[in-house]
């Protein structure tokens, strides 16, 4: 069975990509992922905001106490070896590249256009095979329009495209008013693919403390269907890569994503909850299903049930919603 | 943080210049010439130890291609022992120290010298603690070593400190005599100068490989064994002691030989005595140390006026070669003044003076030269050209003073010479700039950066010196910078500045900022709120000075400029840019380019965004800088703001107020107590107005828990419960509400903030549990800008202070009740949000009126007893904590001494009561013949009443025993002795003494304020530092767990022990302190104290305490031997098993996070081990608690 696929111009031995998670922080875990059969790994995001925050914290809690007291010029060793900002992240790219053969995809979240370019350039120089732009904005301001948000996103993509040569995907929110239009624009401006969709921390209301804590819940299988819809709708409308991220918990979920048209399928929650070896299960069962259904390759199944190729396009559209409700009632 | 790279120079065909201070210059040489460092931090030598540790961690190599090892000991005594052993083994060992640290090394200095080990100890000369501690300079410490057998080599400047460091390392090898190389603490150790660096080739020319090999060959080894350290009897000891004489005789010549090698390599020729001045001088000053340069410059100036003066500086003080000294003196000399920077009370003269006297007396010039002796510069007292001139002038008198002081006004013994404060002999080519900054605003850091820019980018010479005040929060920093084409030999503060910058506008009210301004100079002001109305905001005095001095005035709203550039609170880059734009030291565009280069160098690793923000701040500064038009007339109102209030004591008015005004130098000797005894309770006079925001109380939300009061580090928020009737007289804005009490009616409750004393730390807001139910983000205490509130709150505070004490029933010894008691520790100079001071405050609230405190040197002694104002105060009856500091290392023993002293008086008083029993009421005698079993408030009150009655009964008695008992009667009220200090004292330097004192069973209470690091001296590792934390001397993260002092103490069985963390469980804190006090034997409380040295947001300090407990890092624990009497287990765990991983605690602290950036894998490994250690700690405590449970059958 030929499980190979092409994602962001990278030849992958199968469509399974380990999504961004703490697993990728450890070289030995990444080796285990590779051994288990994963075809590529996505590193956790380098958050420009976090780097700036750390620098600010350092300024507030470290630099500000320097040269204040006659008996203490400072309170920490003045080593020039303290790596700051992106150093650790960039070093980790090198470590992973040296440790595994599968492509290493870095991930980046910036706060302003300059950050995106700077860090994307550094990531490219550090040897990443590709980059995932982890984009999100919470439009709290009542003056911020959807159009403006889209403009900002496209500005970043344009800038990054001009700055780096390695392929990059854009991981987007599901909350755009016109997802298809946005994705088409991303392709037009030079992105090599799109990852659908980003998952966000959501506020957790703590009734004991009467406080709100941010919390990221792992995905559930129910999360998959939204991804399938949009990958299916877009598959034949764009040519660049589509990756499914969120809700892949079973080999059949992988098959579903491929049927919708995904070039790659990211999985994270499953591995965190049940262990790295589940990659092997996904891969082997994918092969079993393909064989049982007389497919010769992943390429053959890819997009077979996408919007333009499915037997009933209405299944993707609004009527689907109505009919579902009717079915539920009956 | 500026990187601190190790400068490696292989050779120096042309000299390489660098701008650095003497500590760095000396450390650099020492590092290259040594194989091992055994060190212990002490001001002002600590930076040398820190530098060699950092270089060692980075793998930098010494002259022989090896990486020296750096080992920190528990004290200087320990370091000296290690050094002796390392030398005995034949290694090139080295160390750095000062002051009391040097004294602790003296026993081993004798040994090292007696065994002729080549060794160099670099010393930043510092005062010894006598009537008071001083971290500043004189030669008292070094002079205490002149009899040890170590050679004493003195450097006068930063350049000399580097050069003589190398000469010392060379000469000790050629002479086998250990060298104590010293230079003036702070004045030289911390002065930044542009110097020519010695290269590796220079050092190799001085420190010969053969000499090193010979020293190694003398090392003790079983391969060719010898024995050292024998015990010698009267038959041989004396002769053997004399056998070393030839080695000492050879020292002067061999030191001179090393000086000559140095001269061949560098062109800098030194001699063991150097004379500079008129070749036919009739008057000469003999001096050593930084004062030499002042004397030489003054002599040159006088000679230019036609006088014949000169200066002889002593470089090699021991062995003292009188012949060379005399040979260096011109034959024309008729009068010599010898200046000593030390004091030997009762001696016929100070040491150098006596040496010179003897040299002259034994020479053929005896009778031809008159020699006088004077003291100068004790405790870093300034030594200026005016003072040097005064010495020369006095020598010109027919009968000069035989003994004198200079630099002070002695109106008691009249030894002082009058001197000019105006004399300015500096070259007009030297540009002088003085900057007044607020601690933490980055002014000093920016100025150090400016010196480097100018020193290393131009041919100009540069000098920087920095003065700090004694406060840890809201300190004033004053930077003195000189730049010029010629060598700068001015080791004294700038008196006449071309450029004056005031980075903190309120200083204009409090300090004479323009007292240092030269006529026609430039004044730069940081003016928050804009630059439009600067002139009208200036105080009248400042307006007058500007007009009279014809200053050019510029202003910038640096905070706004910094904020717009995204650098909130960091105005240093903005002000630095303005300095370069205005001062003309460098062409403006060049200077801006240099600043931006420096920014990229400093912040490049922190990311482009940080660089961009700093660069934006530079550009914005240039745009925001405006010239202020100076009118011909003043227009400010004539308002006088006294520095202490009119109701301050006479001493406060005469002495404290002048010290606060920066005029302490002008106070005469008669102003001071002769024995270091100082009045208490003066911080309340010093309204510092530090808080940008203060807590504002909403009575409608408040639940009256008093937790905010408990945690306030500065006692700046206080409650009261007062009769309702008094509310009628309250000021209009004075808020109060009905007291929540089931028992006490008709009372009002108030939480009042001392708006001018609050530091704005926000801990009260953070701890406040009371929230608006419909707006959960709103608490009963919310921070609001201070400025609009301060006038009304000043009135409210005065009203509050006059309210009666809360009803006694409210003043229970629990969290809430204790806070109704008056704190007798207030408004200290501790850091904003300090984690230590709340413990001390509650101590004074519980037992303050009968508290005797022994305080180890460290943070708590600095905020507790650093002048000009002190925080321990008295209650309405005049009682309060009796606080004192002896030393760092002896605090436990010192406290034991206080205890035993008090106990002696108790015994005597009780005996006298017995002796006088026939004359006293029987029941009174019965009560007073025993000390109370319990020390409850009611018991103490009854005891005080008995003592008052006793006094009244004895008042008119003529019986000598009655008179004696009157002097002792107060001791019949139990005194509470507390021994307080940090972890550096308790875990390290004072560990042995603490252990012994606890073992004695005497009734002392020990409070360890555990910040897990040496906080006062700048974050050096202690044995309390946790695993994985980065600290100085543990740059690679501490790889062992902290010592468990609590469990160790429990091993005795008779000691009350507790671990507390106020932020985690305040009720346990108050309970433990109370139990410790009531325990009739020794008690030990170890208090978790968050600290700026943890690299945290201090507003989150209490939360970190909570996380420390929740994660198992800091189990809350009590061990009370009395519990067994009640059939209970003696140990109790007051915190539940850990419910969060250790990382949830450590990730909020830079001390742990920094390692993850420098060595992520090691950080991960240490974090994993630390988690295991925390788990084991919990298990250990759990097992211990269970082991103390009585057998089931004994349980009641």
pLDDT band at B351 (very low <50, low <70, confident <90, very high): very high
Query: Are the CB atoms for B185 and B200 separated by under 8 Å?
Result: no
Interface test with B, best of A50, A63, A73 (most B CBs within 10 A): A73
Q: Which residues of A touch B1013 (CB under 8 A)?
A: 75
Q: Which residues contact B503 (CB under 8 A, 6 or more apart)?
A: B435, B436, B437, B438, B441, B443, B526, B558, B571, B575
Q: Which residues of B touch A72 (CB under 8 A)?
A: 1016-1019
Q: Which residues of B touch A85 (CB under 8 A)?
A: 605-607
Q: Which residues contact A199 (CB under 8 A, 6 or more apart)?
A: A216, A219, A223, A245, A246
Is there a contact between B1 and A64 if contact means CB atoms under 8 Å apart?
A: no
The pair of three-digit structure tokens given for residue B396, joined into one six-digit string: 């010109």
CATH number for position B1091: 3.40.50.970
Residue of B nearest to A61 (CA): B1095
Judged against a pLDDT cut of 80, whether residue B3 lies above it is answered with no
Look up B677 and say whether it is catalytic: no
State residue A107's pLDDT score.
94
User: Quick check: B58 contacting A, CB < 8 Å?
Assistant: yes
B86 and B160 share a domain? Answer: yes
Is there a contact between B1095 and A61 if contact means CB atoms under 8 Å apart?
A: yes
Is there a contact between B477 and A68 if contact means CB atoms under 8 Å apart?
A: yes
User: Starting from the edge strand earliest in sequence, which strands make up the sheet with B370-376, in order?
Assistant: B273-277, B309-314, B283-287, B335-340, B370-376, B403-406, B416-417
Q: How far is B313 from chain A (nearest CA, A)?
A: 28
B255 and B332 share a domain? Answer: no
Q: Where are the domains of chain A?
A: 5-329
Does residue B913 belong to any structural domain of this protein?
no
Interface test with B, best of A64, A70, A125 (most B CBs within 10 A): A70
Classify B191 as helix, strand or coil: coil
DSSP state string for B865-876: H-SS---B---T
> Stretch B382-403: mean pLDDT, rounded?
98
The pair of three-digit structure tokens given for residue B284, joined into one six-digit string: 């000469």
User: Quick check: A62 contacting B, CB < 8 Å?
Assistant: yes
User: Distance between CA B882 and CA B897 in Å, rounded?
Assistant: 14
Judged against a pLDDT cut of 50, whether residue B1190 lies above it is answered with yes
User: Distance between CA B391 and CA B399 in Å, rounded?
Assistant: 13
Q: Which residues of B touch A73 (CB under 8 A)?
A: 47, 1018
Look up B1012 and say whether it is catalytic: no
User: Quick check: B1140 contacting A, CB < 8 Å?
Assistant: no
Q: What sign does the CA torsion over B934, B935, B939, B943 have?
A: positive
Q: Which of A52, A67, A82 sits opposite B1154 (nearest CB)?
A: A82
Q: Which residues of A touch B779 (CB under 8 A)?
A: none
Judged against a pLDDT cut of 50, whether residue B846 lies above it is answered with yes
Interface test with A, best of B72, B606, B1164 (most A CBs within 10 A): B606
State residue A84's pLDDT score.
53
B55 and B195 share a domain? Answer: yes
B1146 and B1040 share a domain? Answer: yes
Q: Which residues of A touch B45 (CB under 8 A)?
A: none
Question: pLDDT tens digit string along B456-502?
Answer: 888 999 999 999 987 888 889 999 999 999 999 999 999 999 999 99
User: Quick check: B475 contacting A, CB < 8 Å?
Assistant: yes
State residue B2's pLDDT score.
37
Tens-digit pLDDT profile for chain A (330 aa)?
Answer: 899 999 999 999 999 999 988 888 789 999 999 999 999 999 998 888 877 777 777 777 787 888 888 999 899 887 655 555 677 789 899 999 999 999 999 999 876 667 788 899 999 999 999 999 998 878 889 999 999 999 999 999 999 999 999 999 999 999 899 999 999 999 999 999 999 999 877 888 989 888 888 777 888 999 999 999 999 999 999 999 999 999 999 999 999 999 999 999 999 999 999 999 999 999 999 999 999 999 999 999 999 999 999 988 888 886 555 555 555 443
State residue A83's pLDDT score.
56
Classify A173 as helix, strand or coil: coil
Q: Looking at per-residue confidence, does A61 or B1113 come out higher?
A: B1113
Phi-psi region of B802 (alpha: psi -120 to 50; beta: other; left: phi over 0): alpha
Judged against a pLDDT cut of 50, whether residue B1196 lies above it is answered with no
Q: Which residues of A touch B472 (CB under 8 A)?
A: 68-69
The pair of three-digit structure tokens given for residue B1089, joined into one six-digit string: 């104290």
CATH number for position B395: 3.40.50.920
Q: Which residues of A touch B1156 (CB under 8 A)?
A: 88
Peptide bond into B511 cis (omega under 30): no
- State pTM to two decimals: 0.92
User: Distance between CA B270 and CA B160 in Å, rounded?
Assistant: 9
Judged against a pLDDT cut of 60, whether residue B902 lies above it is answered with yes
Is there a contact between A63 and B1 if contact means CB atoms under 8 Å apart?
A: yes
User: Distance between CA B313 and CA B326 in Å, rounded?
Assistant: 12
Q: Which of B58, B468, B612 sits opposite A68 (nearest CB)?
A: B468
Spell B404-422 as b/e; 16+ CB within 10 A means b: bbbbbbeeeeebbbebeee
State residue B980's pLDDT score.
98
Q: Which of B265, B296, B320 is the last residue of a domain?
A: B265
Name which of B222, B223, B240 is nearest B231 in CA terms: B240
B772 and B696 share a domain? Answer: yes
The pair of three-digit structure tokens given for residue A227, joined into one six-digit string: 């991804």
For chain A positions 163-182, those within 8 Å of chain B (CB to CB) are none
Judged against a pLDDT cut of 70, whether residue B1079 lies above it is answered with yes
User: Distance between CA A38 and CA A60 in Å, rounded?
Assistant: 42
Q: Which of B444, B771, B862 sits opposite A210 (nearest CB)?
A: B771
Name which of B1041, B1051, B906, B1056 is nearest B968 in CA terms: B906
Judged against a pLDDT cut of 90, whether residue B918 lies above it is answered with yes
| Chain CA centroid to CA B727, Å | 45
Is there a contact between A78 and B1 if contact means CB atoms under 8 Å apart?
A: yes
User: Distance between CA A219 and CA A244 in Å, rounded?
Assistant: 12
pLDDT band at B12 (very low <50, low <70, confident <90, very high): low
Query: Are the CB atoms for B277 and B337 separated by under 8 Å?
Result: no
> Stretch B908-920: mean pLDDT, rounded?
97
Does residue B756 belong to any structural domain of this protein?
yes
B482 and B526 share a domain? Answer: yes
Q: How far is A283 from chain B (nearest CA, A)?
A: 32
Look up B76 and say whether it is catalytic: yes
Q: What sign does the CA torsion over A247, A251, A256, A259 have?
A: positive
User: Distance between CA A47 and CA A55 in Å, rounded?
Assistant: 13
User: Distance between CA B1088 and CA B1007 in Å, rounded?
Assistant: 11
Q: Which of B775, B791, B821 is the last residue of a domain?
A: B821
B150 and B59 share a domain? Answer: yes
Does residue B969 belong to any structural domain of this protein?
no
Q: How far is A274 from chain B (nearest CA, A)?
A: 22
pLDDT band at B1195 (very low <50, low <70, confident <90, very high): very low
% of chain B exceeding 70 in pLDDT: 98
Mean pLDDT of chain B: 95
Does residue B286 belong to any structural domain of this protein?
yes
User: Quick check: A50 contacting B, CB < 8 Å?
Assistant: no
| Chain CA centroid to CA B582, Å | 34
Q: How far is A112 from chain B (nearest CA, A)?
A: 10
What is the CB-side half-sphere exposure of residue A124 using CA atoms within 13 A? 16
Q: Which residues contact B570 (CB under 8 A, 6 or more apart)?
A: A59, A63, A64, B441, B442, B562
State residue A330's pLDDT score.
39
Interface test with B, best of A79, A110, A206, A213 (most B CBs within 10 A): A79
Judged against a pLDDT cut of 90, whether residue B954 lies above it is answered with yes
Q: Which of B417, B441, B456 is the last residue of a domain?
A: B417
User: Distance between CA B192 and CA B190 in Å, rounded?
Assistant: 6
State residue A321's pLDDT score.
54
Judged against a pLDDT cut of 90, whether residue B611 lies above it is answered with no
Question: pLDDT tens digit string along B670-692?
Answer: 999 999 999 999 999 999 999 99
- Maximum Cα–Cα distance for chain A, whole Å? 81
Does residue B1028 belong to any structural domain of this protein?
yes
User: Distance between CA A203 and CA A206 in Å, rounded?
Assistant: 9
| Window from A217-221, B192-196, B374-378 with minimum mean pLDDT | A217-221
User: Starting from the edge strand earliest in sequence, which strands make up the sheet with B517-526, in order?
Assistant: B16-21, B192-197, B461-468, B476-484, B431-438, B497-502, B517-526, B552-556, B626-628
Q: Which residues of A touch B2 (CB under 8 A)?
A: 78
The pair of three-digit structure tokens given for residue B1195, joined into one six-digit string: 């349980």
Does residue B1100 belong to any structural domain of this protein?
yes
Q: Tokens 């240093």 identify what position? A: B572
State residue B18's pLDDT score.
95
State the CB neighbour count (10 A cutoff) for residue A130. 25
State residue B10's pLDDT score.
55
Counting the structural domains of chain B, the total is 5
Does residue B300 belong to any structural domain of this protein?
yes
Phi-psi region of B153 (alpha: psi -120 to 50; beta: other; left: phi over 0): beta
For chain B positions 123-182, those within 8 Å of chain A (CB to CB) are 135
User: Distance between CA A233 and CA A26 in Å, rounded?
Assistant: 36
User: Distance between CA B197 and CA B29 in Å, rounded?
Assistant: 10
φ and ψ at B97, to 5 degrees? -165, -170
| Chain CA centroid to CA B442, Å | 19
Q: How far is B1100 from chain A (nearest CA, A)?
A: 11
Superfamily of domain A5-329: Aldolase class I (3.20.20.70)
B248 and B304 share a domain? Answer: no
Q: Which residues of A touch B46 (CB under 8 A)?
A: 71
For chain B positions 772-791, those within 8 Å of chain A (CB to CB) are 776
Which one of B54, B82, B91, B126 is the catalytic residue? Answer: B126
Interface test with A, best of B830, B1018, B1096, B1100 (most A CBs within 10 A): B1018
Alpha helices in B458-607 (DSSP H): 507-510, 534-537, 540-549, 558-564, 572-583, 588-603
State residue A316's pLDDT score.
83
State the CB neighbour count (10 A cutoff) for residue A139. 12
Question: pLDDT tens digit string along B203-237?
Answer: 999 999 999 999 999 999 999 999 999 999 999 99
Which one of B43, B97, B156, B526 is the catalytic residue? Answer: B43
Q: What sign does the CA torsion over B997, B998, B1003, B1008 have?
A: positive
DSSP state string for B838-863: HHHHHHHHHHGGGEEEEE-SSHHHHH
For chain A positions 77-96, those within 8 Å of chain B (CB to CB) are 77-88, 91
State residue B11's pLDDT score.
55
B114 and B132 share a domain? Answer: yes
B480 and B343 share a domain? Answer: no
Which one of B294, B614, B1016, B1050 is the catalytic residue? Answer: B1016
φ and ψ at B771, to 5 degrees? -120, 150
B25 and B113 share a domain? Answer: yes
Domain of residue B1166, residue span: 1012-1194
Cβ burial of A299 (10 Å; 0-12, 13-18, 19+) is: middle
User: Quick check: A207 contacting B, CB < 8 Å?
Assistant: no
Question: pLDDT tens digit string along B243-295?
Answer: 999 999 999 999 999 999 999 999 999 999 999 999 999 999 999 999 999 99
Spell A260-295 as b/e; 16+ CB within 10 A means b: bbbbbbbbbbbbeeeebebbebbbeebbebbeeeeb
Cβ burial of A101 (10 Å; 0-12, 13-18, 19+) is: exposed
pLDDT band at B771 (very low <50, low <70, confident <90, very high): very high
CA distances from B176 to A30, B216, B240, B245, B246 (A): 60, 12, 16, 12, 11
Q: What sign does the CA torsion over B725, B812, B875, B857 have?
A: negative
The pair of three-digit structure tokens given for residue A291, joined into one six-digit string: 């064989």
Query: Are the CB atoms for B1037 and B1162 separated by under 8 Å?
Result: yes
User: Distance between CA B692 and CA B573 in Å, rounded?
Assistant: 21
Q: Which residues of A touch B1160 (CB under 8 A)?
A: 88, 91
Q: Which residues contact B388 (CB under 8 A, 6 or more apart)?
A: B285, B291, B294, B295, B298, B299
Is there a contact between A78 and B54 if contact means CB atoms under 8 Å apart?
A: yes
B566 and B441 share a domain? Answer: yes
Look up B43 and say whether it is catalytic: yes
pLDDT band at B708 (very low <50, low <70, confident <90, very high): very high
Bridge partners of B318, per DSSP, are B152
> Stretch B101-121: mean pLDDT, rounded?
98
């Amino acid at each position: 069975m030929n499980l190979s696929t092409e994602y962001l111009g990278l030849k992958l031995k199968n469509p399974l990509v380990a999504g961004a998670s703490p697993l990728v922080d450890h070289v030995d875990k990444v080796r285990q992922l590779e051994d288990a059969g994963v075809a590529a790994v996505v590193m956790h995001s380098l958050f420009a905001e976090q780097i700036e925050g750390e620098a600010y914290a350092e300024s507030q809690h470290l630099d500000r106490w320097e040269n204040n007291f006659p008996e203490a010029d400072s309170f920490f060793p003045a080593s020039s070896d303290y790596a700051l900002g992106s150093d650790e992240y960039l070093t980790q790219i090198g470590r992973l590249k040296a440790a595994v053969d599968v492509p290493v995809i870095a991930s980046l979240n910036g706060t302003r256009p300059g950050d995106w370019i700077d860090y994307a350039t550094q990531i490219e120089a550090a040897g990443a095979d590709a980059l995932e732009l982890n984009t999100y904005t919470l439009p709290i301001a009542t003056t911020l329009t959807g159009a403006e948000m889209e403009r900002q996103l496209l500005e970043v993509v344009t800038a990054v495209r001009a700055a780096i040569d390695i392929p990059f995907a854009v991981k987007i929110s599901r909350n755009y008013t016109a997802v298809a239009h946005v994705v088409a624009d991303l392709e037009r401006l030079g992105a090599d693919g799109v990852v659908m969709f980003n998952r966000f921390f959501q506020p957790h209301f703590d009734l004991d403390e009467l406080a709100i804590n941010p919390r990221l819940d792992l995905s559930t299988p129910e999360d998959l269907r939204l991804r399938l819809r949009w990958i299916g709708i877009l598959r034949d409308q764009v040519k660049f890569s589509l990756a499914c991220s969120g809700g892949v918990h079973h080999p059949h979920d992988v098959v579903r994503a491929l049927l919708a048209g995904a070039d790659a399928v990211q999985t994270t929650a499953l591995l965190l909850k049940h262990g790295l070896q589940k990659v092997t299960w996904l891969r082997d069962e994918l092969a079993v299903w393909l064989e049982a259904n007389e497919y010769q390759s992943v390429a053959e199944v890819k997009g077979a049930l996408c919007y333009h190729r499915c037997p009933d396009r209405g299944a993707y559209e609004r009527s689907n919603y109505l009919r579902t409700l009717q079915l539920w009632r009956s | 943080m500026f990187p601190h790279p190790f400068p490696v120079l292989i050779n120096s065909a042309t000299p390489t210049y660098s701008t650095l201070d003497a500590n760095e210059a000396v450390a650099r040489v020492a590092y290259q010439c040594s194989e091992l460092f055994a060190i212990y931090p002490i001001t002002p030598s600590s930076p040398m130890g820190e530098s060699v540790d950092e270089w060692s961690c980075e793998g930098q190599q010494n002259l022989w291609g090896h990486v020296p090892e750096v080992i920190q000991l528990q004290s200087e005594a320990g370091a000296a022992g290690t050094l002796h052993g390392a030398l005995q083994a034949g290694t090139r060992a080295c160390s750095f120290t000062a002051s009391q640290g040097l004294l602790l090394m003296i026993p081993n200095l004798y040994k090292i010298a007696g065994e002729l080990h080549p060794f160099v100890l670099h010393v930043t000369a510092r005062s010894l603690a006598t009537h008071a501690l001083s971290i500043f300079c004189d030669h008292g410490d070094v002079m205490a070593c002149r009899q040890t057998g170590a050679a004493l080599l003195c450097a006068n400047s930063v350049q000399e400190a580097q050069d003589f460091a190398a000469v010392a390392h060379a000469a000790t090898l050629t002479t086998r005599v250990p060298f104590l190389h010293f230079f003036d603490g702070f004045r030289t150790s911390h002065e930044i100068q542009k110097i020519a660096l010695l290269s590796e080739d220079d050092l190799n020319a001085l420190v010969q490989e053969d000499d090193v090999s010979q020293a190694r060959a003398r090392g003790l080894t079983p391969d060719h064994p010898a024995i050292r350290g024998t015990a010698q009897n009267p038959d041989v000891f004396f002769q053997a002691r004399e056998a070393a004489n030839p080695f000492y005789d050879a020292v002067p010549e061999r030191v001179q030989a090393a000086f000559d090698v140095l001269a061949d390599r560098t062109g800098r020729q030194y001699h063991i005595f150097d004379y500079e001045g008129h070749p036919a001088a009739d008057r000469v000053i003999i001096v050593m140390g930084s004062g030499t340069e002042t004397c030489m410059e003054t002599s040159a100036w006088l000679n230019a006026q036609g006088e014949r003066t000169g200066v002889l500086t002593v470089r090699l003080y021991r062995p003292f070669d009188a012949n060379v000294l005399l040979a260096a003196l011109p034959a024309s000399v008729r009068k010599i003044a010898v200046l000593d920077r030390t004091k030997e009370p009762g001696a016929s003269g100070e040491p150098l003076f006596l040496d010179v006297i003897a040299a002259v007396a034994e020479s053929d010039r005896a009778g031809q030269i008159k020699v006088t002796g004077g003291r100068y510069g004790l405790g870093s007292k300034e030594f200026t050209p005016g003072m040097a001139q005064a010495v020369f002038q006095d020598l010109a008198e027919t009968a000069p003073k035989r003994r004198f002081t200079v630099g002070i006004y002695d109106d008691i013994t009249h030894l002082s010479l009058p001197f000019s404060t105006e004399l300015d002999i500096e070259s007009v080519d030297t540009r002088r700039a003085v900057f007044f900054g607020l601690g933490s605003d980055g002014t000093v850091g920016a100025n150090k950066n400016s010196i480097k820019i100018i020193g290393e980018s131009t041919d100009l010479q540069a000098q920087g010196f920095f003065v700090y005040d004694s406060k840890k929060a809201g300190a004033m920093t004053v930077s003195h910078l000189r730049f010029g084409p010629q060598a700068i030999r001015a080791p004294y503060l700038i008196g006449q500045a071309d450029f004056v910058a005031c980075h903190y506008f309120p200083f204009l009210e409090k300090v004479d900022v323009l007292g240092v301004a030269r006529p026609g100079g430039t004044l730069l002001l940081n003016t928050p709120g804009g630059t439009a109305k600067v002139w009208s905001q200036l105080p009248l005095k400042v307006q007058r000075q500007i007009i009279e001095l014809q200053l050019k005035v510029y202003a910038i709203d640096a905070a706004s400029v910094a904020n717009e550039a995204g650098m909130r609170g960091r105005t240093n880059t903005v002000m630095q840019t303005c300095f370069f734009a205005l001062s003309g030291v460098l062409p403006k565009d060049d200077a801006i380019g240099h600043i931006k280069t420096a920014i990229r160098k400093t912040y490049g690793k922190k990311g482009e965004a940080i660089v961009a923000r700093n660069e934006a701040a530079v550009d914005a500064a240039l745009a925001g800088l405006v010239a202020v038009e100076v009118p011909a007339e003043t227009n400010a109102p004539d308002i006088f703001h006294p520095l202490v209030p009119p109701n301050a004591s006479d001493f406060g008015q005469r002495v404290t107020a002048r010290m606060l005004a920066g005029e302490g130098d002008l106070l005469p000797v008669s102003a001071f107590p002769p024995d270091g005894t100082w009045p208490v309770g003066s911080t309340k006079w010093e309204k510092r107005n530090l808080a940008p925001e203060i807590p504002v109380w909403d009575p409608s939300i408040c639940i009256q828990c008093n937790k905010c009061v408990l945690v306030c580090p500065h006692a700046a928020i206080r409650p009261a419960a007062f009769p309702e009737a008094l509310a009628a007289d309250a000021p209009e804005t004075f808020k109060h509400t009905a007291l929540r009490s089931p028992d006490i009616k008709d009372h009002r409750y108030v939480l009042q903030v001392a708006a001018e004393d609050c530091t704005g730390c926000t801990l009260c807001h953070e701890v406040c549990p009371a929230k608006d139910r419909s707006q959960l983000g709103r608490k009963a205490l919310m921070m609001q800008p201070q400025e609009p509130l301060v006038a009304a709150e000043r009135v409210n505070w005065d009203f509050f202070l006059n309210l009666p004490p809360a009803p006694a029933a409210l003043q229970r010894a629990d969290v809430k009740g204790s806070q109704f008691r008056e704190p007798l520790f207030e408004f200290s100079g501790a850091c904003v949000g300090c984690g230590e001071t709340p413990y001390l405050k509650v101590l004074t609230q519980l037992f303050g009126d009968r508290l005797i405190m022994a305080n180890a040197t460290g943070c708590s002694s600095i905020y507790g007893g650093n002048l000009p104002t002190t925080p321990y105060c008295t209650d309405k009856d005049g009682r309060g904590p009796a606080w004192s500091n002896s030393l760092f290392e002896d605090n436990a023993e010192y406290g034991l001494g206080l205890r035993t002293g008090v106990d002696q008086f108790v015994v005597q008083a009780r005996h006298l009561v017995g002796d006088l029993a026939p004359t006293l009421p029987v029941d009174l005698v019965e009560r007073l013949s025993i000390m109370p079993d319990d020390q409850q408030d009611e018991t103490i009150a009854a005891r005080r009443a008995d003592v008052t009655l006793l006094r009244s009964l004895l008042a008119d008695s003529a019986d000598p025993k009655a008179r004696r008992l009157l002097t002792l009667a107060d001791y019949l009220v139990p005194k509470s002795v507390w021994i307080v200090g940090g972890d550096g004292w308790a875990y390290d330097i004072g560990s042995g003494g603490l252990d012994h004192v606890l073992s004695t069973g005497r009734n002392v209470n020990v409070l360890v304020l555990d910040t897990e690091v040496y906080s006062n001296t700048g974050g050096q590792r202690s044995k309390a530092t946790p695993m994985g934390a980065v600290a100085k001397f543990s740059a690679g993260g501490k790889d062992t767990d902290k010592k468990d002092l609590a469990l160790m103490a429990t091993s005795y069985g008779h000691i009350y022990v507790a671990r507390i963390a106020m932020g985690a469980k305040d009720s346990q804190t108050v309970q433990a302190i109370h139990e410790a006090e009531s325990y009739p034997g020794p008690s030990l409380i170890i208090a978790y104290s968050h600290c700026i040295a943890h690299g945290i947001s201090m507003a989150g300090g209490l939360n970190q305490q909570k996380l420390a407990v929740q994660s198992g890092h800091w189990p809350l624990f009590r061990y009370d031997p009395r519990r067994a009497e009640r059939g209970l287990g003696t140990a109790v765990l007051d915190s539940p098993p850990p419910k969060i991983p250790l990382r949830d605690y450590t990730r909020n602290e830079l001390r742990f996070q920094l390692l993850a950036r420098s060595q992520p894998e090691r950080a991960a490994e240490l974090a994993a081990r630390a988690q295991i250690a925390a788990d084991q700690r919990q298990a250990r405590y759990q097992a211990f608690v269970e082991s103390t449970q009585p057998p089931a059958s004994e349980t009641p």
